[in-house]
Amino acid sequence: MMPTVGGSSYWRIKKLKEIQFGPAGYPEEARGNLERVFEILSKAGLSALEYAAVRGLRTKEDRAKLIGHLASKHDISMSMHAAYYISLASKTDETRERSKQRLVKALRFAPLMGVKRIVFHAGSYGGLPPEEAHGIIRDALQDVWDAAGKNTRSAFLAPEIAGKFNMYGSVDEIIRLCSEVDGCIPTIDWAHLYARSQGNINDRENYMAILRRFEDALGRQFVDNMHFHVSGIEYTKAGEARHQPLGKQWGPDILPLIGIISEVGYKPTFISETPEPIRGALYAKHLLEEWEQINR
């Protein structure tokens, strides 16, 4: 009997033993050469890649298998960002159904590609009260999981914290979703959280409070499978406006977050969504290495 965490049975795919860093999407320098993609990452000392299926998963099976083969050859941990236009609580039934099918397809392709986490945005509230939207999104995800996830258990569904207020995906909503649907883990996008909190979630105390909320609610299912997005961000009163590089000019300041990770011994995967994602991934990795050198 598996222990129960937050209402769903706890299970793990493969616990990552190291903190991983990698880009969202292929490096431009690879110019469509698949093997180059993985060579560039491993030469740079990166060990994760979030495959960008953001305009839909168009890969054929053969190519998906080749991606999986190359990822394992170069020891790169794979996640996938599913389509941007997923909208599980859409006003139209057709869009809801198509959104579910996109996630089903992502789950089916995951084992071919070595993908362990499928990151996605649940979409807007579809003009519904948040509580009603939550119920629809939860039921839709459970259907997706039952159709393509629960038998193979080869990848998690990883709904992401949304950067805009009119999008489903607050901390509370993502925690609820991950407690109520099997096979769900959160994707914490720290830039989105920074935008949603209008710049407040930007220091040690606030980072710690967020991590505690996730850990208290989801336990090991969260701790063993931490998936983060990082970048700088510009925001307005409506939330996220534009992803930006990491560093001084734009928040959030991820150094206190890196410090907590190092001290507590968490092993998250950091996916950089900066305009030059490899540069962002290397920057985050460098921060960790520097922190560990100073605090050894």
Among 100, 121, 138, 229, binds Zn ion (CB under 5 A): 229
Residue 163: closest CA among 194, 206, 119, 125: 194
In DSSP terms, which residues pair with 187 in a beta bridge? 160, 227
Looking at the Cβ atoms of 108 and 192, the one nearer to Zn ion is 192
For 34, counting Cβ atoms within 10 Å of its Cβ (0-12 exposed, 13-18 middle, 19+ buried), the class is middle
In the complex, the smallest distance separating the C-beta of residue 121 from Zn ion, rounded to whole angstroms, is 8
* Tokens found for residue 30: 């690879």
Looking at the Cβ atoms of 100 and 227, the one nearer to Zn ion is 227
Looking at the Cβ atoms of 205 and 241, the one nearer to Zn ion is 241
In the complex, the smallest distance separating the C-beta of residue 189 from Zn ion, rounded to whole angstroms, is 4
Residue 257: closest CA among 246, 249, 273, 241: 246
From the list 25-33, 39-47, 69-77, 225-233, the region that binds Zn ion by CB under 5 A is 225-233
In the complex, the smallest distance separating the C-beta of residue 165 from Zn ion, rounded to whole angstroms, is 16
Q: Compute the distance between CA of residue 125 and CA of residue 162 in angstroms, rounded to an integer.
A: 12
Size of the site for Zn ion (CB under 5 A): 2
Looking at the Cβ atoms of 24 and 70, the one nearer to Zn ion is 24
**Strand, coil or helix: what is 124?**
strand
Residue nearest Zn ion, Cβ-based: 229
In the complex, the smallest distance separating the C-beta of residue 231 from Zn ion, rounded to whole angstroms, is 8
Q: Give 222's contacts (C-beta < 8 A, 6+ positions apart).
A: 178, 185, 186, 214, 215
For 205, counting Cβ atoms within 10 Å of its Cβ (0-12 exposed, 13-18 middle, 19+ buried), the class is exposed
Looking at the Cβ atoms of 108 and 229, the one nearer to Zn ion is 229
* Tokens found for residue 222: 């969260």
Among 173, 189, 240, 253, binds Zn ion (CB under 5 A): 189
In the complex, the smallest distance separating the C-beta of residue 82 from Zn ion, rounded to whole angstroms, is 12
Q: Give 72's contacts (C-beta < 8 A, 6+ positions apart).
A: 114
Looking at the Cβ atoms of 176 and 229, the one nearer to Zn ion is 229
User: Taking CB under 5 A as the criterion, which residues in 191-220 touch Zn ion?
Assistant: none
In the complex, the smallest distance separating the C-beta of residue 295 from Zn ion, rounded to whole angstroms, is 28
Residues that bind Zn ion (CB under 5 A): 189, 229
